[in-house]
Structure 1
Amino acid sequence: MPSVLGVLEKRERVALARAEELRSEVERLQAALAEAEDAARRAVIAREETVEALAEAAGAVDAPVEVPAAGAAGPRVKVPLWCEGVGTGELPLDCARIVALVERDAAGGGEGVRARAMREHLGWASSDAKEQAARFRAKRLVERGWLTEQRPGLFRPRTA
């Protein structure tokens, strides 16, 4: 008959081996997730750079920039440059709602708004694509002077 301590030691070794296997799997998944997120960021940057390059080539640097609407293949909306006297009424509805959310957060002492909160505020489905769409709009609002991005992914109202 095996000793009780021997049985417990064997269980412990098996549990530790399983924990190490799972730890390795988590590390592999985290690396894969980081690669996928990096690929998504590069795709967003490539798209933004392409839109800007096309706008420059067309001589429309100060013209409103088109931003994809809620659906990736849907219609595009125009985001005008911010200037004194231009209100959020000039913005597309989703963009105006994002600016209002960011301003409300700042008025409440918040540290800034992330794309996930914007997606939720807009009532969009919970998906990475919709979160990327919200982030793309926020970044376009930064480029056009409506918002600032103090830290990556953290949006605040424009500074006066």
Structure 2
Amino acid sequence: MPSVLGVLEKRERVALARAEKLRAELERVQAAVAEAEEAARRAVIAREETVLALAEAAEEVAVVPGASAGGSEAAAAAGAAGPRVEVPLWHEGLGDEVLPPDCARIVALVDNDAAGGGEGVRARRMREHLGWSATDAKEQAARFRAKRLVERGWLTEERPGLFRPRTA
């Protein structure tokens, strides 16, 4: 008949071996989680950089030579975004009539949304409001314009991609 202490010592060794095995498995799982989180972080950065590059490319589309400041019908039909828009810095007493037409329409949309109690406007809604085609490039161009309006003090971006009127 085995001794009670011998049985307990054997159970202790088995439990310690199992704990060591689980500790090794935990380290492997934690390393895999850290690797997956890093891959997700890199994917977010790559997506954000791509979005910015697409928006800049959409902004830099050349205007058809000889077209008027508003762009020709042919350029509009071809989807040309026009020249790089200049957005003045906002200051007290400056109205949105000094903005390029698309930017003024974006500011008006955001202001109307806020007046109606909305939580903010996203680029997709801006693109739709501007009557632009439903493409990622046009949505990125709308986002790029909104971000430029944020940089120049006309709008705020309280959460990523959610645009609100500037705060007083």
Q: TM-score, normalised by structure 1?
A: 0.60
For 2:141 and 2:125, the matched residues in 1 are separated by 12
For 1:152 and 1:77, the matched residues in 2 are separated by 22
2:106 match: secondary structure:
helix
State yes or no: 1:93 paired with 2:105.
Answer: no
Q: For the aligned residues, what is the CA RMSD?
A: 2.9
Match of 1:130 among 118, 135, 138: 138
Q: How many Å apart are 1:43 and its aligned residue?
A: 3.7
Shift of the 145–68 alpha-carbon distance from structure 1 to 2, 3 Å rule, reads: farther
Q: How many Å apart are 1:44 and its aligned residue?
A: 4.7
Number of residues of Structure 1 aligned to a counterpart in Structure 2: 110
Gapped runs of 5+ residues in structure 1? 1-30, 51-66
2:112 match: secondary structure:
helix
Match of 2:49 among 27, 39, 42: 42
8 Å CA contact retained: 1:148, 1:156: yes
Q: TM-score, normalised by structure 2?
A: 0.57
Q: How many Å apart are 1:135 and its aligned residue?
A: 0.2
Aligned to 2:161: 153
Instruction: Spell out structure 1 runs of 4+ moving beyond 3 A.
Output: 37-40, 43-48, 67-72
What is the correspondence of 1:22-101 to structure 2 with a 5 Å cutoff? 35=43, 38-45=45-52, 68=60, 71=80, 74-101=82-109
For 2:110 and 2:124, the matched residues in 1 are separated by 12
2:140 match: secondary structure:
helix
State yes or no: 1:139 paired with 2:147.
Answer: yes
1:77 match: secondary structure:
coil
For 2:123 and 2:54, the matched residues in 1 are separated by 18
Match of 1:114 among 109, 122, 140: 122
Identity among equivalent pairs (%): 72
| Bigger RCO of structures 1 and 2 (CA < 8 A, at least 6 apart) | 2
